[in-house]
Structure 1
Amino acid sequence: MAERDWLEIERYTVAIGEPLKRLMDVLYEAGQVPFLWGAPGIGKTSIVREWASERGLNLIPVHLPTMEPFDLRGVPVPDHQRRVTVWLPPETFAPQGKPTVHFLDELNMAELPTLRAIFPLILEGRLGDVSVDGWRVAAGNPPSASTLANELPAPLVNRFCHLLCRADISHWLRWARRSGIHDSVVTYLERNPDHLYAEPQRLDPTQHQVLTTPRSWHMVSDILYAAERRQIPLNAVAPLIVGWLGRFIGVHFLAALQVGTPMIDPWRALYEPDAPLPADPHLLYGLVKAVAQLVDPMNAEEMQRLEAFAKRLTDEFRIFLAQECSARGVHLPMLDESLDKWRRRRRP
């Protein structure tokens, strides 16, 4: 795929965090149903739960792959007075007494009869003759990330606004600090932002692939806290950490904890104009990469800070910063201009 094509795709992905919450607010106001697509473990469920909680909405998870059509419709009961049969809805879809959001998780892993049964639920808010109060949000893993995923029928696809979601280090770190994620995890990912999400890796040829995701780091944080409470040394829980992160990133993380490589805080580099930059080009490379991953393009102050930071760099590292920002869909006129000039010089 050409670089320009990839950048166009990146521009229309949505970061798990405040950007996704803002779009969900718009769809909620418009009464439209989103389908959140994204790799396993990047935080789709967590962000929907957080969004609903912040807005005082009652979130009800609905795991469609474990349900049959009659689980959705409910139970027929006789109405003797009218001499008809009426449907008693399941508790999941019964009136809740407060604004409700039904979260249809892993929707594309459900069987076709179940998918057909939810057609009227998505746009019309009903199951058969039963009206269902509230809003709906659907989520699923793309077929490339799940061998159990089913192709959705075209009429069902057309009932959703499809959002391609991605893990984003800046928003995840903000969430991690609010949520009490272990300092060792936060510090490591500030210095190694590419390790928040990594492609599957095998622990050994006989085992399943391990996917390093935001969920994995949350689990590692819980392990570190549990080990501290029980006064268990780090090397004793190393197999658990590698079991969540995979061999490459797991060993790298353990080494960083034991060695503690000194490096300037990327937030300090961004917000303190006088903060010293590392003389070692390897450390400066890591710092520039971390800053590019952390900055929020929707935050005007951070974009101004990014421009000031870029002016402190040599041409070589400024180009590298521009490449990293462009890959995330972060655009600053000064950096875009530098990148365009560099590309023109490279043309034959």
Structure 2
Amino acid sequence: MNADDIPGKDPLAAADELVRRLQAPRTEQAADPQLEALALAVSANLPVLLWGEPGIGKSAGLRQLADSLGVPLETVIASVHEPSDFAGLPIVGDDPATTGVPMAPPDWAVRLTTAGRGLVFFDELSSAPPAVQAALLRVVLERRVGSLTLPEPVRVVAAANPPSSAADGWHLSPPLANRFVHLRWTHDPRTVARGMAGTWPAVSLPRVDPSRVPSAVARARGVIAGFLTARPGLTHSLPGDAESRGGAWPSPRTWEMALRLLAVGYATGADDKAVAAALIGAGGDGAGMELLTYLEQLDLPDPNRVLADPDAFALPARGDRQLAFLTAVVSAVQTDLTRRRWEAGWTVLAKAVDAGVPDIAARAAADLAALRDTDWAVPSGIDAFVDLLQLSGALPGGG
């Protein structure tokens, strides 16, 4: 008689223990731009879509991220669900004419709502038929699942295989694709080899520094506003082919996403490569690369430092940089509004007039004037804009 024949002895116990040992690797802090880009987008609370071939670790990356955040992970295989699984199943109550017919949410949405936080991971998205993709639109954009609204701290992540390698793959519909930050998920042979030896890179969520928030918001607004002024044709550009429309492409929605990513990147001090990957994932390769080039050449001064000493700065020479800078200054004033900072803003705008570009400052002047407290006197720096502001209604007649 061998040990496996002893009554009460589990013949698979030793094998299960071996598997447990293999599934408990160490982690270490290591530079991994794609993991950092994912963490950055999750921190910004933007829906993320990971594109990659089957078997390269998309699901494993999400499990590791959820573990590092200490939040529950709900995995939903989108391709095996019906539209009603996301739109909700109608449940008739006592008096439908009075209360309506509520749409019952699925169990995973209820668990996340009960927990109040977590990650929902929609896997195999490109294998979901168009009707299911349409039902997911409201989940991704409005966080509505049936009659239930997911809590704000719940993050949305999805994964897809390229249609060429997906089982019964479909191109994503443009409305659904335009709601995601698209990240390419690849494998690094050296990372995989080290992981097989027992050590994988750790995912750490970027931490927002509260002291950086005002400047981060102001700088990000200035950058995106200045870029779209310089490249207005990129404000909305729907690609012509189905495959490109199912990926990242520029629209007002995705520029709002880029704004948030850039602000979080500034406020966390995130790695430049991670920020670059996230920005390209929001606006697409062409628009994203142009934005990165613009960022490299922009070099905006910190608007809060300028407001602290408005007489000691020089206005940028190029028009798009001037607009980006003045937009950032007004946003900084709005973020921390005091009379001294408001008056310093007019000193900054007056330099634009002295430089012979009052038209560049006109929009910023109207926004700055709208922030005025009625008890504050009109500063001298506003003189050059009085006629314009009175015509726009931002300043009452007679000052």
TM-score range, shorter chain: 0.3 to 0.5
TM-score (norm 1): 0.44
TM-score (norm 2): 0.39
Structure label with greater radius of gyration: 2
Higher strand share: 1
